Amino acid sequence: MSVSLGIPTVRGAGQGQGAARPVAERRKSRQIMVGGVPVGGDAPISVQSMTTTLTADVNSTLQQIAELNAAGCQIVRVACPSQDDADALPAIARKSPIPVIADIHFQPKYVFAAIDAGCAAVRVNPGNIKKFDDKVGEIARAAKDAGVPIRIGVNAGSLDKRLLEKYGKATPEALVESALWECSLFEEHDFRDIKISVKHNDPVVMIEAYRQLAAQCDYPLHLGVTEAGPAFQGTIKSAVAFGALLSQGIGDTIRVSLSAPPVEEVKVGNQILESLGLRERGLEIVSCPSCGRAQVDVYTLAEEVTAGLKDFPVPLRVAVMGCVVNGPGEAREADLGVASGNGKGQIFVKGEVIKTVPESQIVETLIEEAMRIAEEMGVEIDEDGAADGPGVQVTVK
Ligand code: SF4
């Protein structure tokens, strides 16, 4: 049975001259609600992140959540390692513009505090919660009464000791067994409002763990490469691992873990989904890497166009090409493009050459044409170059 990928069906600009195809048929998973965000089933794959502020510092945490929300984060997780943090949860849950998940390690009492606080979900790490198994019945009852789902978040670095002894290390089988064992404890209490993660810092192990997990249950899956590293390495590890899984239809929500500000995690997560056609693309710059044939400074041109169209209000594919070898072909395929040569730029709109301008006018011409496309799509742009609409700020530089 085919399952919708939850990709927006309304197509405008941004698809270039070709239609996007789903990367894979989505694994059929049960759907849960994390606050107002559906996860699993045919819901669009959501992007999550985690705050780095002290949760007890309510204002700083809400400020960071606002920044994450503006960057496209749909669900946010906050750590809750102390009573002060637990005490802050009600205010954070109430004022956050996106659903808040409390991340609980070590102390079952904070699970109950998070549920009482109105958090949209609670993440528990069975390997890190003392006497967790004994508490499952109570947790299941409280969560069920409040309609709060639980994420069972198994982590290679804190695998249950019993499974470490059995498998010797955090193998895919060990991660999966840990997760499914904890699920079974909840299932005994007729609680299935669950999503699962089985994170490992090695994408190869992580991919295999999620594959096995996907085959053995229908719970929605939260993808993550744990401790993926600094921005460059972590981005690549996450893109490779998520790409491998999402291209098999596995994964319902994602969190990129970077040793970098969490807003960067959100940008990477959204870009991964856009790259796989699992989310409507925003601004997509198709720029060539440049080579000995380039007749303009492609790097600068691409950067200036990207900066000029930052926060552009409609999806748009813009080709910035350095010469006439591949330039016209790529520019023709995009919504808007330039093929440069001999100090000039041939400007393409929807596959047609509309004008040729001097190199010095390429950037402003592309931005003007982008504005025109937006206006044709019904987005009003005022005299200052700012488009009307929520959160939209487009400025001609
Ligand atoms: S478009 Fe031209 S300049 Fe750019 S990489 Fe290709 S051949 Fe080189």
pLDDT-based confidence at residue 20 (cuts at 50, 70, 90):
low
Q: What is the dihedral of CA 133, 112, 227, 173, to 10 degrees?
A: 20
pLDDT for res 23 = 80
Using alpha carbons only, what angle is made at residue 367 by residues 363 and 368, rounded to the nearest 5 degrees? 115
294 CB less than 6 Å from ligand 1? yes
53 CB less than 6 Å from ligand 1? no
pLDDT-based confidence at residue 158 (cuts at 50, 70, 90):
confident
Which residue puts its alpha carbon closest to atom 8 of ligand 1?
291
Q: Which atom of ligand 1 is nearest to the CA of 324?
A: 2
291 CB less than 6 Å from ligand 1? yes
Which residue puts its alpha carbon closest to atom 6 of ligand 1?
326
- Cα–Cα dist 394/205, whole Å: 43
pLDDT-based confidence at residue 381 (cuts at 50, 70, 90):
low
- Cα–Cα dist 176/79, whole Å: 24
Which of 357, 365, 341, 48 minimizes the C-alpha distance to 195? 48
- Please check the confidence at residue 203 and state whether its pLDDT lies above 60: yes
292 CB less than 6 Å from ligand 1? no
Which uninterrupted H or E stretch holds 37?
A: strand 37-39
290 CB less than 6 Å from ligand 1? yes
Q: Ramachandran region of residue 333, left (φ > 0), alpha (ψ -120 to 50) or beta?
A: alpha
| Pocket perturbation via mutation, ligand 1, pick of 286, 299, 300, 321 by most ligand atoms within 8 A of CB | 321
pLDDT for res 13 = 53
pLDDT tens profile 166-200: 999 999 999 999 999 999 999 999 999 999 999 99
User: What value does the mean pLDDT take over residues 106-120?
Assistant: 93
- Please check the confidence at residue 358 and state whether its pLDDT lies above 60: yes
C-beta of residue 290 within 8 angstroms of C-beta of residue 322: yes
Which of 310, 157, 134 minimizes the C-alpha distance to 226? 157
